[in-house]
């Protein structure tokens, strides 16, 4: 599979995973191993560095690129503070901006996200902003210095699949930096679909974490992402509206004229 480059870093895996909602943290290393992911996101609000047992960072293998996220931030200012804290804590300079000002649907606030991206990109962060799929906002994020854009497939945690297909496809088509479909991906075939659409990567949490066997599900997602990517690169055949007759009705024109 071709490599994905984000923030100057080459990645072999196009599956990013989250660390929330697992029944126990000790399963995370196995999940990482099973899906060969190289980027793992975690909510900084949940990172408890004072406790070896509870500290999520203890469960993430050292070769993984940490992607702390700003879960809990309601404004750009809060997201900026959380990102700076993450870096000060030694979690690297990648950050997933998540600004949510509506606790009911947990939909991202694009305007605040753009503001935070601008500030943090200038401070040298590799910024991966989570967003509602809107083309103009995606362009603004590119301009603000985002390393990727991360449109949501469906509201977070819903497992409903790529419900924003049309809008997300437009972003994939129009935006030159990597597009990572985040949120809503509920089953391996959803991930494959996103990859076939041309997404550069997907971020999956709930679907893996809440599966009866998270390790097996992680593996399934890894295969689906790879299949979807290779399918995309192989350039799929055209989808036909009607069956194509093996004996064309207008064939005589070519035959007769010969």
Partner 1 sequence: MLSFINELKRFDDEKFIKRLQKTSVNDVHRVLAKRVIDLKDMAVLLSEAGGRCLEEMAQRAHQKRTQHFGKAVVLYTPLYLANHCINGCTYCGYNVHNKIDRHILSTEEIEKEAQEISKTGLKHILILTGESAHHTPVSYIVDAVKVLKKYFESISIEIYPLTEAEYKEVIDAGVDGLTIYQEVYNPQIYDAVHVSGPKKDYTFRIQAPERAARQGIRSVNIGALLGLDNWRLEAFKTAWHAHFMHKHYPELELAVSMPRIRPCVGGYEVDHPVDDHAFVQIMLALGCLLPSVGITISTREEASFRNNLVALGATKLSAGVSTAVGGHSKDQEASDAQFEISDTRTVEEMKVFLKSIGYQPVFKDWLDMQDVRMERQAPC
Q: Distance from first CA to last CA of the chain, Å, rounded?
A: 45
How near is the Cβ of 245 to partner 1 at its closest, in Å?
44
Distance CA 36, CA 21 (A): 20
Other CB atoms closer than 10 Å to residue 90's CB: what's the count?
9
Which residues in this chain contact partner 1 in the complex, by CB under 8 A?
Answer: 20-25, 44-48, 50-51, 54, 72, 74, 78, 81-82, 84-85, 87-89, 101-104, 106, 122-124, 157-159, 206, 209-210
Distance CA 249, CA 142 (A): 50
Using the structure block, give the residue that is written with the tokens 């040298």: 124
SS3 230: helix
Instruction: Given the residues 96, 139, 219, 241, select the one marked as catalytic.
Output: 96
Half-sphere exposure of 127 (CA within 13 A, CB side): 31
Distance CA 121, CA 156 (A): 25
Helices (H) and strands (E) in the chain, counts: 9, 10
Half-sphere exposure of 195 (CA within 13 A, CB side): 30
Helices of type H across the chain = 28-35, 76-88, 110-122, 135-144, 165-174, 188-196, 206-209, 214-233, 251-257
Residue 66, φ and ψ in degrees, nearest 5: -80, 135
Give catalytic status of residue 25 as yes or no.
no
Residue 216, φ and ψ in degrees, nearest 5: -65, -40
Residues with a known catalytic role: 96
């Amino acid at each position: 599979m071709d490599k994905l480059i984000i923030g100057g870093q080459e990645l072999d895996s196009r599956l990013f995973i989250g660390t929330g909602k697992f029944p126990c943290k000790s399963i995370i290393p196995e999940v990482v191993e099973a899906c060969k992911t190289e980027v793992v996101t975690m909510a900084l609000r949940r990172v408890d560095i004072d406790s070896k047992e509870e500290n999520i960072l203890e469960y993430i293998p050292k070769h993984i690129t940490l992607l702390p996220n700003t879960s809990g931030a309601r404004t750009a200012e809060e997201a900026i503070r959380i990102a700076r804290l993450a870096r000060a804590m030694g979690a690297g300079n990648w950050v997933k901006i998540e600004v949510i000002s509506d606790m009911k649907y947990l939909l991202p606030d694009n305007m605040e996200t753009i503001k935070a991206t601008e500030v943090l990109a200038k401070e040298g962060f590799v910024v991966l902003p989570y967003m509602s799929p809107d083309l103009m906002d995606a362009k603004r994020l590119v301009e603000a210095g985002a390393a990727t854009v991360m449109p949501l497939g469906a509201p977070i945690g819903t497992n409903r699949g790529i419900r924003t297909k049309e809008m997300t496809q437009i972003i994939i088509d129009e935006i030159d930096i990597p597009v990572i479909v985040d949120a809503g991906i509920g089953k391996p075939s959803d991930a494959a679909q996103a990859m076939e659409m041309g997404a550069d990567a997907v971020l999956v949490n709930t679907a893996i974490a809440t599966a009866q066997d998270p390790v097996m599900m992680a593996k399934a997602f890894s295969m689906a992402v790879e299949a979807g990517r290779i399918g995309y690169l192989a350039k799929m055949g055209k989808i036909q509206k009607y069956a194509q007759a093996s004996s064309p009705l207008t064939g005589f024109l070519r035959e007769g004229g010969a």
